[in-house]
Amino acid sequence: MIAEPPASGLPPEPGGGRIGETQGTIGEGGLRLWLYPREVTGRFTRSRHKVAWALMILYLGLPWLHWRGDSLVRVDWYGRKVIALGHAFWVQDIPIFLPAFFSFVLLAFLGTARLGRIWCGWACPQTVFLQFLFAPIEKAIEGKSSVRKARDAGPADFAWLWRKVAKHAAFALVAAWIANSALAYFWGTRNLLYAMAHPSAENWPGLALVIAFAAVFYYVFAFFREQACILICPYARFQSVLVDEDTSVIAYDSARGERRGKGPRGSREGLGDCTDCRQCVLVCPTGIDIRMGQQLECIGCARCIDACDRTMTAWKKPVGLVRYASLRDLQGKPRSGKPWRLFAYAALALIMASASAILLARRPAVAHDLLRRGQSPYVRVGADSVLNTFTLHLRNNGSERLILMLGWDGAARGTSNWEGRSFALASGQSLDLPVDLTTPASGFIRGGADAGLVLSAPGVREEIDIRLAGPWGR
């Protein structure tokens, strides 16, 4: 039987002294308290809906888009390459993207230092899928949060059971859909659709991966939920060292809000603007009380802002009691005029991104690695010639099929096994080419000679420098 935690694990009603005074999902003895965040509407929630649906379409739709006969973006695990916009990027291209990676990290630092944990509340897949896909399904089947909470606290009757079974069946189907889309990033949609149209026994590795992915997604979104943000997410841990007095985070204006309360018969004499309605706590997906200050569990989703603004409007008070604000804003102090740290993050990120762009622009159309083959550096061929053997590893980085020829270039010339021959290299293909070079023994000085090969195709010319081994004297 599928069920949420028993009634003994439910959070108490507001005002019971639990929520807000300790971590909202931990009860006595470490028992997890199941949260039922109330529904909320408002300007930030509407904006987050638009952002979330755009991101879900991007996350789930991107692997199904194609470009020049292949996926627009695909991680070819077996081929050890990434396909993006028809171009192949190999393990050897990691140095090109290292500066871009550090640029992304610096931009994350910049965003956190300026706007706090905004990634977690607005763009993180965990938040997006949980709050805007799984939560609406749960509401459609089981009802509003208050109804779900009351039903879970009551007896496990037939109405409770069929709703739980229907909800978890829907969750499992959505998790399988997400898992297949995730697998398409690595396997490609054509392989995925082929596997789905044929017996599972013929494609058991792919089936095993889909089942594993689906099981993880189902467990996370059906049971683990906000615990991923509270217990696992590393972003929350390092944000505390990035924020400062100028960082805009979701904050409660205590100078305006205290003392809390509704007052006798609606009288507000001696009280602040906070009516202690606890709506900011009841809508929080991690169960915190924002009025207790900035906390590690706050994911910056702005649900408490919408809930508080709605209460302020009902009481005919100015909105913004809970809002995006920095510590200096709350204290009525001007912000620092020269945020050197933010400038440094931005400048370093720009430098790193520019470095990656330059390396990418200079990336050759055909990448190559030349390795010496055989047990001996060279082999004497007759009395006047020397044979050097190599393996030429080629990678077509472009989006077009190439017909290549391999010719000589350099001081030392001779013959090769590819003289006058051509070979094809498809887009994204790698090829190991055996290359045998025979040169006159008279061309060697002190055991070596410089030579060169040229890979040529229409619009392509790549030069390969070679150090040939041979006899010590002339």
Q: In the block, which residue shows the tokens 């510590």?
A: 327
Least confident of 122-131, 330-339, 351-360: 330-339
State the DSSP H helix or E strand holding residue 89, giving kind and residue range, or none if neither: strand 87-90
Least confident of 266-270, 319-323, 346-350, 355-359: 266-270
pLDDT, residue 14, reads: 40
Give me 179's structure tokens: 């898992």
Q: In the block, which residue shows the tokens 């702005």?
A: 302
Cβ 386 vs Cβ 438: under 8 Å: yes
Confidence tier at 435 by pLDDT (50, 70, 90): very high
More confident residue, 266 or 297: 297
Model pLDDT for residues 186-217, shown as the tens digit of each residue: 888 888 888 888 888 788 887 888 899 999 99
Residue 240 confidence (pLDDT) above 80: no
Model pLDDT for residues 284-331, shown as the tens digit of each residue: 999 999 999 888 889 999 999 999 999 999 999 999 999 999 999 999
What pairing do the DSSP bridges indicate for beta strands 385-396 and 379-381? antiparallel
| pTM > 0.85 | no
Residue 249 confidence (pLDDT) above 80: yes
Domains with residue ranges and CATH for the chain: 1-363 (no CATH), 366-469 (2.60.40.10)
pLDDT, residue 21, reads: 55
Which amino acid, one-letter code, is at 309?
A: D
State the DSSP H helix or E strand holding residue 406, giving kind and residue range, or none if neither: strand 402-408
Average pLDDT over residues 61-68: 88
C-alpha closest to that of 248 among 120, 343, 115, 111: 115
Cβ 84 vs Cβ 76: under 8 Å: no
Model pLDDT for residues 361-419, shown as the tens digit of each residue: 999 989 999 999 988 899 999 888 999 999 999 999 988 899 999 988 755 578 889 88
Mean pLDDT of the chain, nearest integer: 88
Least confident of 98-102, 134-138, 382-386, 387-391: 382-386
For residue 265, what is the DSSP state? Answer: G
pLDDT, residue 28, reads: 75
Distance between CA 65 and CA 387 in Å, rounded?
49
Cβ 395 vs Cβ 83: under 8 Å: no
pLDDT, residue 12, reads: 43
